[in-house]
Amino acid sequence: MKPTIGRIVHFVPKLGVTHAAVIAFVHSDTMVNLAVFDCNGKSYGQTSVQLVAPGQAKPEFGFYCEWMPYQAEKANAPAAPGAALSIPASQATADALERIIQKIDEKIAAED
C-alpha cells in the first residue's frame, strides 16, 4: 500500500505500546513523518519513521509505524472478479478542471 498524507497508521514507539497516528509527510514508500496521539490523546510529531509493510519483519529496536490490521488485510485481499478500476475523486476533479481550462483557453484564442 502506498502511503499518502492524511492516512491513519499505528505508531509503535516501543515494544508493547501502540499510538494512533496520521501521516503528515511522505519521504518514500517506507519512510514518513507522523502526527501522533498518545494514550491520553496528547499529540506530538515524529519524523523519519519507518513504515513497515504487511508481512515485513518489524524492527527489534527503535520505533516504527504500520498499517492498521484492516488496511493490511484489504491490501492483501485479491481483487473481486470483474472489479472495475475507478479514478479517485481527486483525479476526476482535476480532469474536470483541466477540461474547463482548455475550453476557456479555446474561447480566448477564438476571440483574438
What DSSP letter does each residue of 36-100 carry, written as one string? EE-TTS-EEEEEEEEEEPTTSPPPSSS-EEE--HHHHHHHHSPPPTTPPP---HHHHHHHHHHHH
Does residue 100 form part of some domain?
A: no
66 belongs to a structural domain: yes
For residue 98, being part of any structural domain is answered with: no
Is 102 a member of any domain?
no
**CA 90, CA 55: separation in Å to the nearest integer?**
30
**% of residues, the chain, pLDDT over 70:** 82
Q: Looking at the domain assignment, is residue 85 inside a domain?
A: no
- Is it the case that residue 22 has pLDDT exceeding 60? yes
pLDDT for 37 equals 97
104 within some domain: no
Q: Is the pLDDT of residue 92 over 60?
A: yes
Q: Is residue 46 domain-resident?
A: yes
Average pLDDT over residues 24-41: 96
| One-letter identity of residue 26 | V
Q: Report if residue 57 sits inside a domain.
A: yes
Domain extent, residue 59, equals 8-77
Number of separate domains in the chain: 1
Q: Assign 90 a pLDDT band (cuts: 50, 70, 90).
A: low
Mean pLDDT of the region 97-112: 78
Cα–Cα dist 67/55, whole Å: 11
